[in-house]
A and B are shown apart, each in its own frame.
Chain A
Amino acid sequence: MNTPRYRNIDRAGAIIALAILAVLPLVFTGRYLVGVLTVAAIYGIWAVSWDFMSGLTGRENFGHSLFIGVGAYTAGFMNTAWGFGPWWSLPAAMLVAVIFALIMGFPTLRLRGPYFALAMLSGAVIMQRLMLIFWEYTGGEEGIQGIDPLLASPLYFYWLVLAVLAATTLLLVSLARSDWGLILKAIRGDEATCLAAGINITFYKIASLAISAAFAGLGGALYAHYQLQVSPQLFAVVTSITIITMVYVGGMGSVYGAVGGALLLSLMTELLRDFGEWRLMIYSLVLIAILFFLPNGLVAPIWQRLRTRLARDPGPPAASAPQEAKRAIDNAVAGKGEAV
């Protein structure tokens, strides 16, 4: 239930989380942390955008990396070959990603879940091959180098990314909680019934894919201006699966959980840095473990339980249990009141 009280708690939680994230690199200075947090935040943008479409409609998109990659490559081309200033990349990346979403979406969105997933996967794989095949234009394996950063200071760039993450999450969570989200969930349930209720399901499916793609592309452009280069690796299946794992950890369909999942998994990746080549394997094993043991995710269920606890607080703060016990003991010692 999303009563006003819950909304307030959500808002408070979000603000606190945002504040902590923003302040963290000031407390633990050094380029390393800022870098890790920046990438984590970008993954957050990718994860949130994925959950908005796939988590709500149940149509899992296994080719999200396609939108990420085209966004990044757009930034790369615009900034190097076509000589645009770096800030132009952002809207351009979103636009190009949306175009790809429309192209891929029309033939594939009529398919049932697994086939849609595979079709999108195929799209991403082919795009990766295309980047290698047309190496004269795209730089092949090496990709495009020498992209300009958006801001000189890594800290300011991090705050920019954090702001984009916050705005994206806010927008997508609001949409998910509005009638739009209701329609997407209905589409997940039964398309024929949706049609019978007067819903133009084709529009909503394609529009939500386009929205998802736009923000994925935006994240891709930000990533390009962070790494200062783009390579075909961006289109890899691994990226898509990482994002899906993050959303699973966060709680499929919650949208905000995806951010938590992204942060958690990015943290885990960093801690596993020493394992180098084994990282990917551990990642895949984590995914398998989650599918078996935590299908509802970690972040959203925990937050929901926490929120219920916080909401049960009536008004004037009830005395906490230790306080109550102390008072009872004091009374007993003083010879008055109930037995302990």
Chain B
Amino acid sequence: MLEILIFGAVTGAIYAMLAVGFTLIFGVARILNLAHGSFYALGAYGAYALTSVFHLPLWLAAILTVAGVALFGVAVERIFIRPMRASQLAVLMITLAVALVVEQMLFLVFGSEYRNVPAFIDTKFTIGGVDVAGQRVLAFIVSGLAIGGLYLFIQTTRLGSAILAISQDPEAAQYMGIPSDRIFSVVMALSAALAALAGIMAGPFLSVNPSMHLLPIVKAFAIVVVGGLGSIPGSILAAFMLGYAETLVAYLGSSSWTEIVSVLATLLMLVLRPAGIFGRRAAF
């Protein structure tokens, strides 16, 4: 029982980082970014490469990777997304194309085999009698810090207020002189950074391969649908719900079924309550 509580929390925490980034860019710019999974994958591979190949210490590898992926996110936004902003579908197509290109590049550089990313913390903790790998504890802590940091940033800084304003009413925000385009880049960077962080934390217990960007997108979408498009609290709540649901399914049934949970959750939510739990804006 305690095992489920702990492992579900860790999974939920990682999903939360993934989903919050996804919902953030949607809430602000109204785009569904299919390259989001690529940020996750690049995070995992980046940390792997920097630690295994260049033997950098974890903290340095993580910072460099997050910064690099954030910059990449900004580049994607500027070069590929911005010209297509008029059509949501065009944005979808182009971000998917970018995701495929990234997948291909990862494949060409690293090959298609699953690679094991060594854990960053080897010590095992014992919480309430349950053995928990240090990596999982680290993931939980990092996620909490990251999301907490994001919350503080949005609540206390001017940039954060601007972001809130745009997500509530983009036109009014523009009339107030808020530079939407610059904000989009910032939000994209934040979104990519969070996804990369999720990938860095998840890498050691998920093992990386070039196609790893797809499932996270499916799950992020599921989480965002359940939690409510554009709602950050909703995404966090739904992320933990999904994390716990998957952990439960893995314990009660078999781990193979976990992925079906997300798609079932999505479809069910779409049928019953398309706006999601906290969504103001329905998907239709």
Contact = CB atoms under 8 A, between A and B. Distances in A.
Contact of B96 (A107, A122, A237): A237
Contacts of A295: 90
A287 B100 CA distance: 11
A119 interface: yes
Given A111-B284, A114-B88, A118-B92, A126 B97 contact: no
A284 B259 contact: no
B67 interface: no
Contacts of A115: 32, 225, 283-284
A23 interface: no
A126 B260 contact: yes
B272 to A, nearest CB: 9
A53 to B, nearest CB: 14
Interface string B262-275: 11001100110010
Interface stretch (B102-110, B115-123, B162-170, B233-241): B102-110
Interface residues of A, number: 39
A241 B274 contact: no
Contact of A237 (B214, B267, B274): B214
Contacts of A60: 89, 92-93
A116 to B, nearest CB: 9
Contacts of B217: 118, 121
B100 A241 contact: yes
A112 B92 contact: no
Contacts of B97: 241, 284-285, 287-288, 291
A280 interface: yes
A122 B221 contact: yes
Contacts of A244: 93
A295 B86 CA distance: 13
B201 interface: no
B221 to A, nearest CB: 5
Interface in B209-258: 214-215, 217-218, 221-222, 225, 256-257
Interface in A264-305: 277-278, 280-281, 283-285, 287-288, 291-292, 295
A112 B104 contact: no
B120 to A, nearest CB: 28
Interface of B: 31-32, 34, 80, 83-84, 88-94, 96-98, 100-101, 104-105, 107-108, 214-215, 217-218, 221-222, 225, 256-257, 259-260, 262-263, 266-267, 270-271, 274, 283-284
Interface of A: 58, 60, 62, 106-108, 110-115, 117-119, 121-123, 125-126, 129-130, 133, 237-238, 241, 244, 277-278, 280-281, 283-285, 287-288, 291-292, 295
19 contacts: A60-B89, A62-B96, A106-B271, A112-B284, A114-B91, A115-B284, A118-B32, A119-B267, A121-B217, A122-B218, A122-B221, A126-B263, A238-B100, A280-B100, A281-B100, A284-B97, A284-B98, A288-B80, A291-B94
Counting from the closest, the 8 A-B pairs by CB-CB distance are A133-B256, A281-B104, A115-B283, A126-B263, A284-B100, A107-B271, A114-B88, A107-B270
